[in-house]
Amino acid sequence: MPLQNAVRPDSHNARGRWALTVVAAFLAAHIIIPVWRGDVYPFTSAPMFRDNPQQCCNYRVFAPDGRELPAADFLVQRVYDGNPLGYGVGICPPRILEEFGQICDEATLRRHVREQLLSETNRHLPYVDVQHEVIGPIDSQHIGVISKERCRVRRDE
């Protein structure tokens, strides 16, 4: 009686070679594509914390009556996910003041907050006080607030 579904002895070797070729091609693509084209899912160059930021800022915004306002209303919140600027993870964050690792000067801070005071959300406020903390290395073993400044930004400046 002939075996109709018999497997030829060399078919397992061919299937094994084919599987090995596919795996090798995938691994090679995982190395080549990020170098050649940048991040293309699922191939990534694993950029997290590659930018090695040394400092960052915290911003707190206060209304004329002294209550703290949501930082997101003034686009001064931190939106850092560990990836260098330009590497996305499926979201497009809003254009905010802070670029993690970069410290803006007071003129840039004032210009940005003044633009936000002109928006519909904040138009009712004549001014806000902005507290700007710079966080960075205190010494070789510690990180903390290395400077803290506060400025008043008026809508009509």
**How many domains does the chain divide into?**
2
50 assigned to some structural domain: no
51 assigned to some structural domain: no
Same-domain status, 146 and 69? yes
Cα–Cα distance measured from residue 87 to residue 48, given in angstroms and rounded to the nearest whole number: 9
Same-domain status, 86 and 120? yes
Cα–Cα distance measured from residue 157 to residue 143, given in angstroms and rounded to the nearest whole number: 35
110 assigned to some structural domain: yes
Say if residues 115 and 122 touch (Cβ distance below 8 Å): no
Does the pLDDT value for residue 118 go beyond 80?
Answer: yes
The residues with which 40 forms a beta bridge, in sequence order, are 43
Same-domain status, 38 and 62? no
For residue 98, the model assigns a pLDDT of: 74
Same-domain status, 39 and 78? no
The residue range of the domain holding 4 is: 1-45
Query: Which of the four pLDDT bands, split at 50, 70 and 90, describes residue 103?
Result: confident
For residue 88, the model assigns a pLDDT of: 55
Cα–Cα distance measured from residue 76 to residue 57, given in angstroms and rounded to the nearest whole number: 9
1 assigned to some structural domain: yes
Per-residue pLDDT tens digits for 73-100? 999 887 766 666 556 555 566 677 777 6
Query: Which of the four pLDDT bands, split at 50, 70 and 90, describes residue 116?
Result: very high
Same-domain status, 129 and 68? yes
3-class DSSP assignment, residue 140: coil
For residue 38, the model assigns a pLDDT of: 64
Same-domain status, 91 and 150? yes
Does the pLDDT value for residue 71 go beyond 60?
Answer: yes
Look up residue 89 and give its DSSP letter: S
68 assigned to some structural domain: yes
Say if residues 114 and 157 touch (Cβ distance below 8 Å): yes
CA end-to-end distance (rounded Å), the chain: 98
Query: What is the average per-residue pLDDT within 101-108?
Result: 84
Same-domain status, 111 and 60? yes
108: how many CB neighbours lie within 10 A of its CB? 12
66 assigned to some structural domain: yes
